[in-house]
């Protein structure tokens, strides 16, 4: 089975390494040898044996009937989107780790694949090496899934873990995550939550069968989280994690990406470093959790190669994936109910009375010098915003949602 690879960066070079290291077992599982015939990249690699496979023109791959599977690890929408369309229309399967592409055009590309009796597979687009797309699509099919909550970004989980355990600065740990090949080309996509947002949009679309537009998902990253917030988390017996969630209640779907305070006893609290974990709740199976390395060369490449094997096994047949183009209207974020942890400047001794007046009863948290800290009751986001507004000139140092 001849494969073309698009992109020879971190993940692309990992794909070559995985196929070469495990060629025998991969051949057994695929039922035929898997061979990389071309590698498309803008660059040449003169000192690397891969150079003899390098091509710069996608038409070489499109026009070669021997190539039945194309694996893409370039990232970004352009030119991946037009490549994916032409490759699928040519009757070749397309396998990708590109979450931007899948979140934006997944429904359409699945439809094109179906029409052409080939496959569009994207296991590596969410959770790095963790199998989650295939379980959602092929295993948990007896259940109504009503919630998926997960740590979906390796870079930010790595940063939060090192900031807390090693007291290192955000910038310092981010540099390390980049050097380890975890971060996006533009790491703002990681730290501002955009990467996790696309991933939860993909999972929600698969869980609910209709398109969840990532642009509709309220998203906050971790750039405002400080060492002081982590001290408070410790006092509250909590960890701070960047969580992506989608939940369905009756016919209402809501989704969000934000840092959350979660109790240390919560299974997601124990997920550290570059690891990701995805918690799935089904109405029959109950709780499931998927855990593993969420970023990095070989774990992500392992998921890409597993899709190549699946595409090889299903040559000539389309694996049905339900993700309609019809868009789900998400519940307005203002109406979602949640509790907040809040830190404010202690301007005077009257501050507690003032907080009680505005927020009603709150749970006080032992505060750092010069501060007052508390956890609110569960309330609608819009009511929380109104109450913060009502505090007037009281300086809010930070506010972090609390997982129930
Ligand atoms: N930058 C991403 C992360 C890579 O850190 O999770 C894997 O999608």
How much is the CA Rg of the chain, to the nearest whole Å?
Answer: 23
* Both structure tokens of 72: 């893409």
Mean local confidence (pLDDT), 264-275: 97
pLDDT at 404: 82
Place 301 in a pLDDT band, splitting at 50, 70 and 90: very high
Query: Is the model's pTM score more than 0.85?
Result: yes
* Structure confidence by residue, pLDDT tens digits, 210-236: 999 999 999 999 999 999 999 999 999
**Average pLDDT estimate for 127-133:** 98
DSSP code of residue 143: S
Compute the distance from residue 190 Cα to the ligand 1 centre, in Å: 7
User: What percent of the chain shows pLDDT beyond 70?
Assistant: 100
203 and 186 Cβ atoms separated by less than 8 Å = no
For the chain, give the mean pLDDT.
97
**88-125 pLDDT, tens digit each:** 999 999 999 999 999 999 999 999 999 999 999 999 99
At 148-170, the pLDDT tens digits run: 999 999 999 999 999 999 999 99
- The answer to whether the CB of 244 falls within 8 A of the CB of 196 is yes
- The number of CA neighbours under 13 Å toward the Cβ of 83 is 27
User: Residue 349 above 90 pLDDT?
Assistant: no
Give CA separation, 307 vs 35, 134, 321, 380, in Å: 14, 9, 14, 42
- Among candidate residues 199, 241, 281, 297, the one labeled active-site is 199
182 lines ligand 1 (CB under 6 A): yes
373-387 tens-digit pLDDT:
999 999 999 999 999
Number of neighbouring beta carbons within 10 Å of residue 354:
17
Asked whether the CA dihedral 83, 86, 88, 92 is positive or negative, the reply is negative
Compute the half-sphere exposure of residue 385: CA atoms within 13 Å on the CB side of its CA: 8
According to the model, what pLDDT value does residue 251 have? 83
pLDDT of 89: 98
294 CB less than 6 Å from ligand 1?
A: yes
Q: How far is the CA of 394 from the centre of ligand 1 (A)?
A: 37
Q: What is the pLDDT of residue 51?
A: 98
Measured CA to CA, the distance from residue 223 to residue 190 in angstroms comes to: 10
In whole angstroms, give the CA distance from residue 256 to residue 78.
26
- DSSP element (H, E) containing 375: strand 371-375
> Closest Cα to residue 147, out of 331, 325, 335, 283?
283
Please give the DSSP secondary-structure letter assigned to residue 219.
B
Count H helices and E strands in the chain, helices first. Answer: 14, 18
Mean pLDDT of 274-296: 98
Give the mean pLDDT of 336-356: 93
Per residue in 3-19, pLDDT (tens digit) is 999 999 999 999 999 99
As given in the structure block, the two tokens for residue 338 are: 């949640």
**Which atom from ligand 1 is nearest to the alpha carbon of 294?**
6
Q: Which residue stretches of 210-345 are H helix?
A: 227-235, 297-313
**pLDDT at residue 313 is higher than 90:** yes
Residue range 31-43: average pLDDT? 97
Output the CA 244–ligand 1 centroid distance in Å: 13
Assign 347 a pLDDT band (cuts: 50, 70, 90): confident
Q: What is the pLDDT of residue 206?
A: 98
- Per-residue pLDDT for 249 more than 90? no
Q: Among 338, 168, 186, 375, which Cα is nearest to 258's? A: 338
Q: Are 166 and 284 in contact (CB under 8 A)?
A: no
**pLDDT band at 250, cuts 50/70/90?**
confident
Over range 314-343, report the average pLDDT.
96
Residue 106 Cβ inside 6 Å of ligand 1? The answer reads no
Q: What is the mean pLDDT of residues 137-146?
A: 96
Contact between residue 374 and residue 364 where contact means Cβ atoms under 8 Å apart: yes
**77/271 Cα distance (integer angstroms):** 30
Closest ligand 1 atom, residue 183 Cα: 1
295 lines ligand 1 (CB under 6 A): yes
* CA 85 to the chain's CA centroid: 24
Distances from the Cα of 346 to the Cα of 21, 365, 367, 369, 384, angstroms: 60, 13, 10, 9, 19
Task: State both tokens at 342.
Answer: 């809040």
Between CA 137 and CA 209 the distance in angstroms is 10
Q: Which atom of ligand 1 is nearest the CA belonging to 126?
A: 8
Distance separating alpha carbons of residues 232 and 240, to the nearest angstrom: 10
- Dig out the tokens for 83 from the structure: 């490549």
């Amino acid at each position: 089975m001849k494969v073309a690879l698009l992109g020879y960066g971190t993940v692309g070079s990992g794909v070559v390494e995985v196929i070469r290291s495990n060629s025998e077992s991969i051949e057994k599982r695929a039922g035929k040898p898997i061979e990389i015939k071309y590698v498309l990249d803008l660059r040449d690699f003169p000192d690397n044996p891969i150079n003899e496979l390098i091509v710069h023109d996608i038409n070489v791959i499109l026009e070669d009937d021997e190539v039945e599977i194309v694996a893409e690890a370039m990232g970004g929408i352009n030119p991946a989107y037009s490549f994916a369309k032409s490759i699928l229309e040519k009757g070749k399967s397309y396998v990708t780790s590109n979450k931007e592409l899948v979140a934006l055009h997944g429904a359409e590309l699945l439809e094109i694949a179906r029409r052409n009796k080939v496959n569009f597979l994207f296991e590596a687009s969410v959770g790095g090496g963790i199998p989650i797309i295939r379980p959602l699509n092929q295993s948990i099919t007896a259940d109504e899934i009503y919630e998926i909550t997960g740590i979906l970004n390796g870079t930010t989980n790595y940063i939060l873990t090192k900031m807390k355990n090693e007291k290192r600065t955000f910038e310092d740990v981010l540099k390390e995550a980049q050097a380890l090949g975890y971060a996006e080309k533009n790491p703002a996509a990681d730290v501002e939550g955009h990467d996790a947002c696309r991933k939860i949009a993909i999972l929600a679309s698969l869980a609910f069968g209709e398109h969840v537009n990532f642009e509709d998902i309220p998203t906050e990253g971790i750039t405002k989280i400080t060492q002081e917030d982590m001290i408070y988390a410790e006092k509250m017996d909590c960890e701070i994690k960047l969580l992506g969630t989608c939940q369905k209640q009756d016919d209402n779907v809501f989704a969000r990406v934000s840092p959350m305070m979660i109790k240390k006893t919560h299974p997601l609290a124990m997920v550290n470093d570059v690891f990701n974990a995805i918690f799935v709740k089904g109405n029959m199976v109950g709780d499931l959790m998927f855990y593993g390395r969420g970023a990095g060369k070989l774990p992500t490449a392992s998921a890409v190669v597993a899709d190549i094997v699946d595409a090889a096994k299903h040559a000539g047949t389309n694996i049905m994936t339900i993700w309609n183009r019809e868009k789900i209207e998400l519940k307005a974020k203002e109406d979602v109910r949640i509790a907040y942890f809040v830190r404010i400047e202690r301007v005077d001794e009257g501050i507690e009375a003032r907080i009680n007046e505005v927020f009603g009863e709150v749970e006080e948290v032992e505060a750092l010098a010069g501060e007052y800290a508390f956890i609110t009751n569960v309330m609608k986001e819009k009511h929380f915003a109104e109450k913060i507004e009502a505090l007037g000139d009281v300086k809010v140092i930070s506010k972090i949602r609390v997982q129930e």
